[in-house]
Amino acid sequence: MATFRLGIVGHSAVRFSAGGFRLNRPQQSNVIRLMTTSAGKQTSGGTLRLALKGMAVGALLGTGWSGYNYFRGEPTDHMLHEKTEPTYLDRLPDVRIMRKVVNPKDDSGLELVLFQFQTCPFCCKVRSFLDYSGLSYSVVEVDAVLRQDIKWSSTKKVPIVLAKTRSGKYVQLMDSSMIVSVLASYLKDKSQDIGELAKYYPSISFVNESGRKTSDIMNKYFLMLQDSKQHKANDAQDEERKWRSWADDHLVHLISPNVYRTKDEALETFEWFSDVGEWDVHFPKWERDMMVYVGAMAMWAISKRLKKRHQLSDDVRSHIYDACDKWIAAVEKHKTPFLGGKVPNLADLAVFGVLNSMEGCQAFKDCLENTKIGGWFYAMRKEVMSNRGHVA
Domain with CATH 3.40.30.10 in the chain: 81-220
Q: CA separation (Å) from 11 to 15, 126, 176, 238, 312?
A: 12, 24, 19, 11, 30
The type of residue at 58 is G
Q: What local confidence, expressed as pLDDT, does residue 98 receive?
A: 86
Q: State how far the Cα of 188 lies from the Cα of 172, in Å rounded to an integer.
A: 20
Q: What local confidence, expressed as pLDDT, does residue 4 receive?
A: 44
Burial profile 116-143: b = 16 or more Cβ within 10 angstroms, e = fewer: bbbbbbbbbbbbbbbbbbbbbbbbbbbb
Q: pLDDT in tens for each of the 392 residues of the chain?
A: 444 444 433 333 333 344 554 444 333 333 333 333 333 434 444 444 444 454 444 444 444 444 444 444 444 444 456 788 899 999 999 888 989 999 999 999 999 999 988 788 999 999 999 999 999 999 998 765 556 778 888 887 899 999 999 999 999 999 999 999 999 999 999 999 999 999 999 998 888 777 777 788 989 999 998 765 555 568 899 999 999 999 999 999 999 999 999 999 999 988 887 887 677 875 678 877 887 888 889 888 988 888 998 899 999 999 999 999 999 999 999 999 999 999 999 999 999 999 999 998 999 999 999 999 999 999 999 999 999 999 98
Q: What local confidence, expressed as pLDDT, does residue 232 receive?
A: 58
Domain with CATH 1.20.1050.10 in the chain: 234-384
The type of residue at 100 is K
Across the beta sheet with 137-141, the strand order is: 88-89, 170-174, 160-164, 112-116, 137-141, 99-102, 390-391
Q: How many CB atoms lie within 10 A of CB 239?
A: 17
Burial profile 221-232: b = 16 or more Cβ within 10 angstroms, e = fewer: bbbbbeeeeebe
DSSP string, 224-270: EES-GGGT---HHHHHHHHHHHHHHHTGGGGHHHHHTSSHHHHHHHH
Q: State how far the Cα of 4 lies from the Cα of 184, in Å rounded to an integer.
A: 14
- Kindly report the three-state secondary structure assignment for every residue of 179-193: HHHHHHHHHHCCCCC
Mention the CATH class of domain 234-384.
mainly alpha
Q: What local confidence, expressed as pLDDT, does residue 292 receive?
A: 84
Q: What local confidence, expressed as pLDDT, does residue 264 receive?
A: 92
The type of residue at 366 is D
Q: Would you say 54 and 290 are in contact if contact means Cβ atoms under 8 Å apart?
A: no
Reference 194, options 202, 185, 203; nearest CA is 185
Look at residue 347 and give its three-state secondary structure. helix
Q: State how far the Cα of 147 lies from the Cα of 47, in Å rounded to an integer.
A: 22
The CATH homologous superfamily for domain 81-220 is Glutaredoxin (3.40.30.10)
Q: Would you say 33 and 58 are in contact if contact means Cβ atoms under 8 Å apart?
A: no
Look at residue 30 and give its three-state secondary structure. helix
Q: How many CB atoms lie within 10 A of CB 312?
A: 18
Q: What local confidence, expressed as pLDDT, does residue 151 receive?
A: 86
Q: What local confidence, expressed as pLDDT, does residue 29 receive?
A: 37
Which residues contact residue 220 at a Cβ distance below 8 angstroms, ignoring those fewer than 6 apart?
Answer: 17, 19, 175, 177, 178, 181, 201
Helices (H), the chain: 25-37, 44-71, 121-132, 176-188, 194-198, 235-249, 255-259, 263-277, 279-282, 285-309, 316-334, 346-356, 362-370, 373-387
Q: State how far the Cα of 61 lies from the Cα of 79, in Å rounded to an integer.
A: 32
For residue 216, give the DSSP letter.
Answer: E
Q: CA separation (Å) from 336 to 128, 348, 367?
A: 20, 12, 21
